A and B are shown apart, each in its own frame.
Chain A
Amino acid sequence: MFIIFLLAISVLTTGAYRTIKHEWITFRKGESYFEKKEYAKAIPFFRSALEHGIKKPEAVFQIAESYYVIGDLSSALSIYNKIEKENPTNTAIILRLADIYVDLKRFNEAAYMYRNLLRINPLNRSSRIKLARTLAWSEKYDESILEYRKVLGDIK
């Protein structure tokens, strides 16, 4: 009975801690704004939660995504770069990074990211087309043509 009591207490205190502790309240507010798609409002709450020592990877993701959605690409880029270093095989993150580089017209870096994606999954058609487009935008036409031909199965 005593063990059960202790377990119940621990579950309840964890719940209470997350509900009452300041950084958790801040984090939840950020989440609430994020879910309502009020990204600009969500950012300061996530930031504050992280500054107060909260260790939630999703808070970092959500800040990066919020910056991306509101068009603050350089802030989004800097955070996504940190995330990518910790998650080097997360294809969604690499893809987002590549897309940000394209939006910033930093085509060489974008191409590098798309190539990374293709190293992880060589059959990813969408990444290869994006690589081909990026190469064309940076006037590397011959390389771009090669990638398009791979997409169309003209060459392997």
Chain B
Amino acid sequence: MKKNIILSVFFILVFFFIAEMYVSRQVLAEEERTQTLKPKTDIQEIPDWQARWELAKVLSYAKRYDESLVEYKKLIKEKPELYQAKVEMANVLFWQGKRTDAITLLEQMPLRSIDENTKIVMSDIYVSQKEYKKAEPLYRTYLEKHPGDQKVRFKLAQMLSWDKRYNDSISEYKTILNAIPDDIQVRRRYAYVLIWAGKNKEAIEELRKTLK
């Protein structure tokens, strides 16, 4: 009898030991699986400066330029090394008509940190200020990379004509009209440059083409 009791207790202990091991393994496996049930989500914390940068951009999209500039100023004060933010701020100033402020800001930055489109904005500002010598290399560098951008080439051609460099301007107009021969507006402008250059006969020929 006593032997039986001891054996029973022994078996009960062995059983609970095995059962415990089995249950623990199941629980662990279940926990591991539950971990995979949670989708891996982006839990990176977004810092205030980044949220403010995004806010400044959205304010500019909403054409709330004054508010946008306030946010850009706060951002640049906190992160002066953020050239991209300065470029964007300069663009906002440009859209707001504050061209001098925009160019002053852009000139403080290394040229390599300014994107191509903003360089065109810079050129446009220089042209509006009759600073043709500053504008020309920016247009030309851009056109080396994008020779097919006739819109920018047209800006350069116009600028050269205003700078009285008619032959250079005519050369650019010829390139444009080779690419888009049916553009009447460009051909008319070209004709005016020919007139300014004293090439009246050629100008008349070009103007005739615009009447066909």
Contacts and interface: CB of A to CB of B under 8 A. Distances in A.
Nearest to B41: A95
Majority-rule SS of B interface residues: helix
Contacts of B43: 126
A129 interface: yes
B45 A126 contact: yes
A125 B47 CA distance: 10
Interface in A54-94: 57-58, 61-62, 65, 68, 92-93
Interface in A26-73: 31, 34-35, 57-58, 61-62, 65, 68
A114 interface: no
B95 interface: no
B62 A145 contact: yes
Contacts of A148: 51-52, 54-55, 58
A139 B62 CA distance: 9
7 contacts: A8-B18, A31-B33, A35-B36, A99-B42, A126-B42, A129-B54, A145-B59
Interface of A: 1, 4, 7-8, 11, 15, 31, 34-35, 57-58, 61-62, 65, 68, 92-93, 95-96, 99, 125-126, 129, 132-133, 136, 139, 141-142, 144-145, 148-149, 151-152
